[in-house]
Amino acid sequence: GKWSGDAIRRRFLEFYAARGHKILPSSSLVPDDPTVLLTIAGMLQFKPIFLGKEPRRVPCATTSQKCIRTNDIENVGRTARHQTFFEMLGNFSFGDYFKKEAIAWAWELATKEYGLPAERLWISVFEDDDEAFNIWHNEVGVPKERIKRMGAEDNFWTSGATGPCGPCSEIYYDFYPERGSSNADLGDDSRFIEFYNLVFMQYNKKDDGSLEPLKQKNIDTGMGLERMACIIQKVPNNYETDLIFPIIEKAASMAMVSYDKADDAIKTNLKIIGDHMRAVVYLISDGVIPSNIGRGYVVRRLIRRVVRTCRLIGIRGDVQGNSEGAFLPSLAEVVISLSTEIDPDVESRRKSILGELQREELRFVQTLERGEKLLDELLDEALLCAGNNGNKPSLSGKDVFLLYDTYGFPVEITAEIASERGVTVDMKGFDIEMENQRKQSQAAHNVVKLSVGNETEIVKSIPDTEFLGYDSLSASAVIKG
């Protein structure tokens, strides 16, 4: 029969447990680490061990780690393989085994346990990593033409601007082997999907960018659970796996549309809902409350985006038909019903998660409706003004920014509504306003830094880090100044 996502997760953990790894729980999405805002990878909870700052408790471990990558937000629903929330399965060696075993086990897991055909698997190695190349070719038996040497961008992994890092080797799955190997490009995501990354963690990247060899050679790996489920369940994307699809089906039924019959735009919106609902439920469960700073702003922005997306496809009010009611709680219920093996604590926090979502949704809808009123007035003005002086009606960058910044009004929506009334928006002007705000918050942050003048104090102030918008909110270096 078909593998469920839960079964894939279990098999991974059991495979490594049978090879001496201790199964450990996922850590919180809120990391105990000042260099990143949210947990972006399985290695984060082990960073002090990799750096030699803490003694290892076991020689090797395996986990299924909840992760958030806000830098992938624009990819959600657009690529088949990216979510903001995903689970990363990992096996870790703390100075115990190294390349040879990591490679051999990853291959055995993929081909024997999950039964992927060997001839569909492709390998990338860091450009000058002959050792890894030779293990893949000579010991595992992968033909040379299916092992690609790639540059640092893909095959030198770092968790952030500083910290443990090293060359890596990735395993890709080929959806179309019939296309042959002569012109194959692993970056072509209509053909290949990267699912497993093996990091040979042997350096510490310092503030000045230099690489200092670690005392021990470590292994840090990550396999995307939803990606493996996508491959094994033979569905076109991560969203149609049993890990996410029930949320999409719920949203589709609330919008009274059918996913299968929907056009691409609606499908993308449903995928955004499927992803963001998971992200906000797990973030709130881990104690992140919507606010205007740091992590709180990440969750607020995700909630706003999912509310707007739901309204866009016609979801209004709650399932009881109360038009003033909130709809996020009904969607969150589905996320919670799927949570048992991802995070057993979520179920027990159900009430507060639903309450928080309901409060935030209703608050945002109010703001949104106030913004709609203001936008109407601004459009009236623009049309009147243009009529008087014979110019083309246009909304200034300042106004668009006001709607965005104060009323949480997304620029695309402003542009859309404006164009319905024949008014253009000054996007250049808007970008300038955004840039000004960015500079101001940067300056404010620098002032804080100077006046504190003490490294550890700066570190403590991280939860208050100013949110600078999605553009600048990369998964790693979110600390500005």
CB of 342 to ligand ATP, least distance (A): 14
349 binds ligand ATP per the rule CB under 6 A: no
184 binds ligand ATP per the rule CB under 6 A: no
Cβ neighbours for 95, distance < 8 A, ≥ 6 positions apart: 56, 59, 215, 216, 217, 218
414 binds Mg ion per the rule CB under 5 A: no
Instruction: Please state, in angstroms and rounded to a whole number, the distance separating the CA atoms of residues 68 and 87.
Output: 9
In single-letter form, the type of residue at position 291 comes to: S
| Residue 226 interacts with, from ligand ATP, Mg ion, none (CB under 5-8 Å by kind) | ligand ATP
What letter does residue 236 receive in the DSSP assignment? S
Instruction: Pick between residue 197 and residue 414 the one whose CB is nearest to Mg ion.
Output: 197
72 binds ligand ATP per the rule CB under 6 A: yes
| Length of the chain, in residues | 481
Q: Which of 268, 282, 266 is nearest to 73 (CA)?
A: 268
226 binds ligand ATP per the rule CB under 6 A: yes
Given candidates 197, 241, 269, 285, which one binds Mg ion under the rule CB under 5 A? 197
Helix, strand or coil, per DSSP, at residue 441: helix
By CB under 5 A, how many residues form the interface with Mg ion? 2
195 binds ligand ATP per the rule CB under 6 A: yes
Helix, strand or coil, per DSSP, at residue 358: helix
Name the CA dihedral angle for 91, 95, 96, 97, rounded to a multiple of 10 degrees. 70
Q: How many helices (H) and strands (E) does the chain have?
A: 15, 11
Residues 241-272 as b/e (b if ≥16 CB within 10 A, e otherwise) read: bbbbbebbebbbebbebebeebeeebbbbbbb
CB of 268 to ligand ATP, least distance (A): 15
CB of 136 to ligand ATP, least distance (A): 16
Cβ-proximal residue to ligand ATP, closest one = 224
Residues 398-420 as b/e (b if ≥16 CB within 10 A, e otherwise) read: ebbbbbbeebbbbbebbbebbee
| Residue 360 interacts with, from Mg ion, ligand ATP, none (CB under 5-8 Å by kind) | none
CB of 124 to Mg ion, least distance (A): 8
69 binds ligand ATP per the rule CB under 6 A: yes
- Number of Cα atoms under 13 Å in the Cβ half of residue 180: 2
Name the CA dihedral angle for 345, 350, 353, 359, rounded to a multiple of 10 degrees. -170
Instruction: Pick between residue 205 and residue 445 the one whose CB is nearest to ligand ATP.
Output: 205
194 binds ligand ATP per the rule CB under 6 A: yes
164 binds ligand ATP per the rule CB under 6 A: no
| Residue 285 interacts with, from ligand ATP, Mg ion, none (CB under 5-8 Å by kind) | none
88 binds ligand ATP per the rule CB under 6 A: yes
Instruction: Pick between residue 195 and residue 297 the one whose CB is nearest to Mg ion.
Output: 195
CB of 401 to ligand ATP, least distance (A): 29
CB of 280 to ligand ATP, least distance (A): 16
Instruction: Please state, in angstroms and rounded to a whole number, the distance separating the CA atoms of residues 295 and 298.
Output: 5
Residues lying near Mg ion in the complex (CB under 5 A) are found at 194, 197
Residues lying near ligand ATP in the complex (CB under 6 A) are found at 69, 72, 81-83, 86, 88, 194-197, 222-224, 226-227
